[in-house]
Structure 1
């Protein structure tokens, strides 16, 4: 995994989990890789992976069945979708709007680019 120096590694691992849940690679109530497996997979110290797991448990996206492993919560997909939509609205869109304003790009231009992107 290539890490971005501007964001803590454990949060980048959290994003890795989010993506796997959003693309339905990991389904609700399905067992996910262990802390050690994730640490090896993304090439980090197991303590960093544990930090990501703890964060996801606090958000109730995953849960631990003692002695069995970690699982995506019953409504994990919906929780991740809500988290990522809010992040998009509160963090990504304001930057996009600022760039649009600075570059004098209209919503129509963006819509056309989006439609073109979707066709590809």
Structure 2
């Protein structure tokens, strides 16, 4: 995984875990990779993954069954969407609108590209 400089690594890993849950690759109620396994997969220190899992437990997105492992919570998709919507609307959307204005882009142009993106990225995965 390639990490960005401007965001803490544990939060980037949290985004990765949340995306896996939202895409149903790690469904609610199912066991997710152990701290050690995810650390190996992402090539990070297990302590960083542990920090991620602690963060996600605080958000009630995952939970720990002692001695068994970590699991995606039943309400994880709804909680993730709520949390990420709030973040998007407060931080990313204002920057996006600013760029639209500064670059003199029309919403129609964005809509066409959005539809193409969804078709390419997500509908191709369903086939």
Instruction: Please give the TM-score of this superposition, normalised by the length of structure 2.
Output: 0.87
**C-alpha distance 10-23 of structure 1, shift in aligned 2 (>3 A):** same
Could you tell me which runs of 5 or more consecutive residues in structure 1 were left unpaired when the two chains were aligned: none
Is 1:78 the counterpart of 2:78? The answer is yes
Match of 1:10 in 2: 10
Match of 2:97 in 1: 97
Deviation at 1:116, TM superposition (A): 4.1
Give the whole-Å Cα distance in 2 for the aligned partners of 1:119 and 1:34: 33
Give the whole-Å Cα distance in 1 for the aligned partners of 2:41 and 2:48: 13
Match of 2:21 in 1: 21
Give the whole-Å Cα distance in 2 for the aligned partners of 1:90 and 1:15: 17
Deviation at 1:75, TM superposition (A): 0.5
Deviation at 1:114, TM superposition (A): 2.5
Provide, for residues 82-109 of structure 1, a one-character-per-residue CA deviation record: whole Å limited to 9, x for no partner.
1222222122211110001111112222
Could you tell me which runs of 5 or more consecutive residues in structure 2 were left unpaired when the two chains were aligned: 121-127
| Large movers: runs of 4+ above 4 Å | none
Q: How many residues align?
A: 120
**C-alpha distance 32-117 of structure 1, shift in aligned 2 (>3 A):** closer
Instruction: Please give the TM-score of this superposition, normalised by the length of structure 1.
Output: 0.92
Give me the CA root mean square deviation.
Answer: 1.4
Is 1:45 the counterpart of 2:45? The answer is yes
